[in-house]
């Protein structure tokens, strides 16, 4: 299903089961896209702090969530934002 259709289903409260399934699908899509953007940010030289700032979370939070999930071939800049 297309993301826009999923979002429409997620906001429709007339069928909570369908809405909850749509929210779960959006969460999966969001997680996948966020990981791709974290990797793109690191490749672009942002470093963990720069990625954290862009996401509005702490450096520790973003590192804990993504350090083991990212492509291990990414050369992560040290102490750059």
CA 80 to chain centre: 21
pLDDT digits (tens, 9 = 90+) for 9-38: 999 999 999 999 999 999 999 999 999 999
What pTM, to 2 d.p., does this model score? 0.83
Q: Which residues lie closer than 8 Å to 70 by C-beta, 6 or more apart?
A: 35, 38, 39, 42
Give residue 77's region: left, alpha or beta (phi > 0; psi -120 to 50). Answer: beta
21 vs 6: CA distance, rounded Å? 9
Domain ranges of the chain: 3-66
Whether 69 and 35 have beta carbons less than 8 Å apart is answered as: yes
Instruction: Please give the pLDDT value at position 79.
Output: 65
> Is the C-alpha dihedral spanning 67, 56, 25, 21 positive or negative?
positive
């Amino acid at each position: 299903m297309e993301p826009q259709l999923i979002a429409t289903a997620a906001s429709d409260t007339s069928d909570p089961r369908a809405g909850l399934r749509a929210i779960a699908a959006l969460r999966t899509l969001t997680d996948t896209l966020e990981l791709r953007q974290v990797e793109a940010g690191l490749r672009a030289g942002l470093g963990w702090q720069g990625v954290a700032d862009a996401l509005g979370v702490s450096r520790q939070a973003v590192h804990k969530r993504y350090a083991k999930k990212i492509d291990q071939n990414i050369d992560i800049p040290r102490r750059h934002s």
